[in-house]
Structure 1
Amino acid sequence: MSTLITLITGGNQGIGFETAKNLVFYSSSYHVILGSRDLHRGEAAMKMLSALPDIKGTVSVVQLDVTDDASVDAAAASIKDSYGRLDVLVNSSGIFEPGKPRIVARKIFETNVVGYINVTEAFLPLLHEAPSPRLVFLSSSLGSLTHASNPESRYYTPLGTEYRAATAARNMIMNQYWVRLQKEGNGQFKVHGADPGLVVTNLAETPERLRARGAAEPDVGGERVASIIKGERDADVGLVCGVYGVSPW
């Protein structure tokens, strides 16, 4: 049980990839499984990580499309056959799309909300097999209703409404799993929301525009999420942990 089997959805790129990198550099205890919708991209990311010097942990990949039930179930069956349990699940997949609200809302919620429930439900039986399971939901201060309704907040803006609404929904999902799993998991489950802050990714804006706005580099965002997985934010279990502390609901 010394190896911590860790699945990161969307692990082939962005925050998911940087989180995986941080973990495998940190300790030989981590075996990180990169969940990737495109298996070829996932395999390329796995090879990139495995080839880095001074890597301590290990990496593998599984095809996983959070919007496809068959894909999610197949990934869960594969991990069950290989390891028999899952110690850490990091729901990191996400999309942002501009366009007509009624169209993009359906796409964003399908991946960023329904996808998170889909994956979590499929892997809960394997998490229950772990001695100290962790469940992490990627979040953002953009999902805070407190920030969104405060004229003094930097997040007081109507931009990205569909994405922000989906993030707020994820926060509630995280909260409800925390409440539920305290009872089901005999107090062993630790559930967190992880807010990496404004980070350079290809999610919505170009790296140049993001850096001009003061965004942190990708590895910084990965470290912020990884710190939760490592147990450094266990005092804030059940909450959304951000760079400035705990994000208000």
Structure 2
Amino acid sequence: MSAQAYFITGTNRGIGLELVKAFSNLNKSNIIIATVRDLSRAEELKELSVANPNIKIIQLDVGDEESIGKIDEQLEALGIKGIDVYINNGALGDSFDSLFKTESKTFYDHFRVNTIGPILTVQKLYKYLLAKQTRKIVFISTMGASLSNFQAINTTAYGESKAALNHAVLQFGSELKHENFIVVPIHPGVVETDMAEHSLKSFKERGPAVMDMLLGQMITSEVSATSIAKLVESLKPEDSGKFYNYKGDDEAY
């Protein structure tokens, strides 16, 4: 397997951190560009980068346009000319209440981080992806954003911002098809993360049955990330635009 360059957002913990490990372990010659919003909260990642020099850490807040604008200078400092795979994992998931109780700032924050930021990041990374032949763009999404398979679970601003992101996936896939890009969203499963823990607390108060269902589907970040890594490596041009779960099954938008 030839070495590749991966750009992964939101890697200080959870799925993102495990994705860094998974792609680094696939080939120690791979270059993993791991982004974090706050370097002071990424101790495990920093220790990992010391042990694995192929892991490079840069600062990026996908919800901040000014931060996105600093990607070029950081990649230039690392000598990165091309990127094979961009994985947008960084997200905000803090909206699990009724629409009637959700404030406007909650909507703005979720769309800024989960929808607009990832789109602007693709705009910035486009020239780097174009420099390679792999050209894979992957967005970690959620089945909570599905319209045709809607579940009566209050994901509110989180689910709606991810649904908007899924629409962007389809448009990116259409616009970049002639350049042989592969663009997909992936549902990572119900993963044991801080975000999941927060949502379960909310569901416990308002819907115990929902909480029990989610607990029954729970998987670890390592299982999710390892499965996603295998799926990403197997993606082909004809897969572009499909909505996958971490197991590699097609899902409904």
2:234 equivalent in structure 1: 231
1:73-107 CA-to-partner distances (Å, cap 9, x unmatched) read 21233214511111111111101124642221111
Identity percentage of aligned residues: 25
- Cα distance 1:233–1:41, how it changes in 2: closer, same or farther (>3 A)? farther
2:183 pairs with 1:180: no
Q: CA–CA distance in 2 between the matches of 1:143 and 1:42?
A: 29
8 Å Cα contact 1:21/1:49 also seen in 2: no
1:89-130 CA-to-partner distances (Å, cap 9, x unmatched) read 111110112464222111111100011111111111111111
2:215 equivalent in structure 1: 212
Deviation at 1:226, TM superposition (A): 1.0
2:21 pairs with 1:26: no
Runs (4+) off by over 4 Å = 206-211, 232-235
Q: CA–CA distance in 1 between the matches of 2:236 and 2:82?
A: 23
Counterpart residue identity of residue 246, structure 1: D
Q: CA–CA distance in 1 between the matches of 2:56 and 2:185?
A: 24
Deviation at 1:18, TM superposition (A): 1.1
Q: CA–CA distance in 2 between the matches of 1:139 and 1:223?
A: 16
8 Å Cα contact 2:169/2:185 also seen in 1: yes
1:240 equivalent in structure 2: 243
TM-score normalised by L of structure 2: 0.84
TM-score normalised by L of structure 1: 0.85
Paired positions, count: 235
- Unaligned stretches of 5+ in structure 2? 202-210
- The farther-off stretch of 207-216 and 173-182 is 207-216
2:197 pairs with 1:202: no
- The farther-off stretch of 227-236 and 87-96 is 227-236
8 Å Cα contact 2:190/2:196 also seen in 1: no
8 Å Cα contact 2:34/2:58 also seen in 1: yes
Deviation at 1:29, TM superposition (A): 3.8
2:94 pairs with 1:97: yes
Give the alignment partner of residue 111 of structure 1, picking from 95, 110, 113.
113
- Unaligned stretches of 5+ in structure 1? 149-155
1:144 equivalent in structure 2: 146
Q: CA–CA distance in 2 between the matches of 1:203 and 1:44?
A: 19
Deviation at 1:234, TM superposition (A): 6.0
Give the alignment partner of residue 86 of structure 1, picking from 80, 83, 86.
83
Q: CA–CA distance in 1 between the matches of 2:199 and 2:46?
A: 23
Q: CA–CA distance in 2 between the matches of 1:86 and 1:235?
A: 21
Where 2:197 maps in the other structure, the secondary structure is: coil
Deviation at 1:215, TM superposition (A): 0.4
